[in-house]
A and B are shown apart, each in its own frame.
Chain A
């Protein structure tokens, strides 16, 4: 049957057809929907792991014990998971194991643009790069077969555009080849140096066999159109190249990209006078082309940018110096529309108060609260990676103290980030007795990536009820003596808690506990937050003096009415969090039942 599917949906279809039985993941755009869609298949055990390292380890365990397994993550997630991967590459698999990385050329929702193909090379494992949804499905099945045939975990490298584009996919049925007997084998699975040295030799033998495979697999194919110009392309860049060159050039379409097929590439390159190597991000294939001695024919990063997507217009401009004609108009009228914290977002109250503090550095983290970096809060000083806020804050506080500067450091991160790597980060502060203030923005869900459950949210990936790991209890168990849990929509409570924490000379934790506006409430939430989002606020235009003080809280539901010059609230967006009410000096904002 034919279906329209996103690349992510097709990955799930392929894994399911291949008989996958365990799927673990940590959310991250653009990979999140893989695990979300997998939960629809009840034959597969699907879970959210607290972070990517743990997800890969769970998949490794399942593979060794004898069922086909997979782990999926965004590109930066593989940094976190690199440790188990590099050694699993030595032990190899029992049942097939596939690791899916979703890279982000263009950085639509990421903090960097790293090219994870380098991981396949460094870890010495095979890698597949699908270009379309159909290939995403087909390659996923291939990946499981390769994994078992060559006794190795396989990396499938997707990119945002492949993950989030839809195309037509021919769907098949599930094979039940996902199970293998478990046989204890310490020489293979216990990587003490003596055994690891033996496996190390196997790794090189396997790479040689994989290169032979790469020469023959139809995933790498030459399309001979009788031209003297060649294009080598992979992933979505192949589709973009086809859009530009059509059938006017010869192609070497590469789907299996580690190890690269020297003979096939040589044959192709010998048949053309010049060759464009069109690949997004790093010159991964290009370096091989040059190693094979074809530098002079090769047009790669000297022609195409090493950053961003290589969309058809980029290729067209780089090769032909031309672009399509566009309509000319007054672009100064276009106002930017940056993403903003939602109306009623429970992070707003904290950043409204924190933004006012002087001599405070705020070390940030990755989540919706990263948006507090911009106007009107301008609150955040650093954003590096998940879990980094408390530990960079700790280092920064030590630096200020050593320099004798009058600065205090406040770190902020969310509940999902706390469970991801924030616990380690907080441990650093507590163990090394940092006088930083560590704030956990507990909105009861993983917000930024589209509301996935986490160890504190009360539900599993399939929405079944889960044990709630209570953040305050964890902080106490780690030995933190100064902890306050507050409602962030109560501005006085926020201010008091900040005053209190900053008055201390030892580690302090503030937990702002209130569910995200967009969270689908669990039964537990309904009991714990019975009044949440049950009202909305309105401006009494008689009382309003148009002072604009309320607008400073940055709620997208608030605006100044052009005609009356008074504040107004968009009733469709407002959820009655009450933050603006507390700011108004004239008590002009009040509640209305919803």
Chain B
């Protein structure tokens, strides 16, 4: 059975590194893996997504609406934006963090205060993770993405893969310890 994991967020939040590490681990585990991302304007603060699919043989790298097993959102509004991609009985991991889109900054729209409630009302399996706040506690806001990777791994039951080695092999040595620590925190949060 092919599994589909959708990682979404705002350009610059580090979805690309998280999904890269995820695909490396899955490949090492012997899965066929496909990943797709659209990142043309990602550095300009737009909505971004990385789609990861794995299984025995995977044809399409693209997740269809209504077919993701897990939605991992690095920002609250983005979770709601992409929720229609989730399977009826799929799971959500959402970072409890808000980033204001330009229409909100310009006063043309409101950032609804009850985004998480709206997700919970329509989806049974929702885990809210304070990844940004936990990353700040670790002294480096940027490791938020690896915290969420930890939560993702736990949610998909992929703990048997040697993620800590994969992290060490793929991030700058100076940040390896911080990222490994972040990964552990992320696993413990779900």
Contacts and interface: CB of A to CB of B under 8 A. Distances in A.
Interface of A: 2, 4, 29-30, 108-109, 160-161, 164-168, 239-240, 242-243, 309, 311-313, 316, 323-331, 333-342, 368, 371, 374-376, 450, 518, 548, 551, 554, 556, 558-560, 572
B32 interface: yes
Q: Is the interface of B mostly helix, strand, loop or mixed?
A: mixed
A165 B35 contact: yes
Given A29-B40, A325-B88, A339-B11, A548 B107 contact: yes
B154 to A, nearest CB: 22
A100 to B, nearest CB: 18
Contacts of A551: 105-107
Contact of A327 (B64, B77, B107, B122): B122
A166 B33 contact: yes
B66 A311 contact: no
Interface in B98-131: 100-112, 114-115, 118-119, 121-123
A556 to B, nearest CB: 6
B125 to A, nearest CB: 11
A326 B102 contact: no
Given A327-B83, A327-B88, A339 B45 contact: yes
Q: How many interface residues does chain B have, given as a range?
A: 35 or more
Contact of A313 (B11, B27, B65): B65
Contacts of B172: none
Contact of B123 (A108, A168, A327, A339): A327
A496 B41 CA distance: 32
Given A327-B86, A333-B112, A375-B108, A167 B119 contact: no
A331 B122 CA distance: 12
Given A168-B27, A243-B60, A333 B43 contact: no
Interface in B29-64: 32-41, 43-47, 59-62, 64
B66 A340 contact: no
Contacts, number: 163
A568 to B, nearest CB: 10
B80 interface: yes
A165 B111 contact: no
B165 interface: no
A206 B80 CA distance: 55
B123 to A, nearest CB: 6
A116 to B, nearest CB: 18
B65 A324 contact: yes
A338 B46 CA distance: 5
A108 B80 CA distance: 21
Contact of B102 (A108, A160, A338): A338
Contact of B35 (A108, A160, A166, A335): A166
Contacts of A4: 23-24, 27, 33, 35
A312 B60 contact: yes
A71 to B, nearest CB: 21
B157 to A, nearest CB: 21
A375 B106 contact: yes
Given A29-B40, A242-B59, A339-B11, A329 B24 contact: no
A237 to B, nearest CB: 10
B33 to A, nearest CB: 7
A329 B27 contact: no
16 contacts: A165-B37, A166-B35, A240-B59, A313-B65, A324-B64, A325-B66, A326-B65, A333-B114, A334-B77, A335-B110, A336-B103, A337-B81, A340-B102, A371-B44, A375-B108, A551-B107
Nearest to B51: A165
B57 to A, nearest CB: 9
Nearest to A552: B106
Given A324-B87, A326-B66, 17 more contacts: A29-B40, A161-B36, A161-B61, A164-B36, A168-B32, A243-B59, A243-B60, A312-B62, A316-B64, A329-B118, A330-B118, A333-B112, A333-B115, A335-B77, A335-B103, A375-B108, A556-B45
B169 interface: no
B11 A329 contact: no
Contacts of A242: 59-60
What 4 A-B pairs are tightest by C-beta distance, nearest first? A109-B40, A324-B66, A339-B44, A339-B46
Contacts of B36: 161, 164-166
B61 A340 contact: no
Contacts of B37: 164-165
B140 to A, nearest CB: 12
A337 B67 contact: no
Interface in B71-100: 77-78, 80-81, 83-88, 100
A312 B59 CA distance: 10
Nearest to A556: B45
Interface string B6-41: 000011000000000001100100001111111111
Nearest to B119: A329
Contacts of B173: none
A166 B23 contact: yes
A108 B40 contact: yes
Given A339-B45, A339-B46, A323 B103 contact: no
A484 to B, nearest CB: 28
B65 A323 contact: yes
B34 A165 contact: yes
Contact of B84 (A312, A326, A336, A368): A326
Contacts of A323: 64-66
B64 A337 contact: no
A333 B112 CA distance: 6
Contacts of B121: 329
A548 B88 CA distance: 43
A313 to B, nearest CB: 4
B105 A335 contact: no
Contacts of A375: 102-103, 106, 108
Contacts of B44: 339-342, 368, 371
Contacts of B81: 334, 337
A335 B11 CA distance: 16
A556 B65 CA distance: 30
A337 B107 contact: no
Given A327-B122, A329-B121, A572-B141, A560 B84 contact: no
Contacts of B10: 337
Q: Which of B45, B46, B88 has the most CB of A within 10 A?
A: B45
B8 to A, nearest CB: 11
A399 B107 CA distance: 38
Contacts of A311: 60, 62, 64
Contacts of A316: 64
B122 A329 contact: yes
Contacts of A339: 11, 41, 44-46
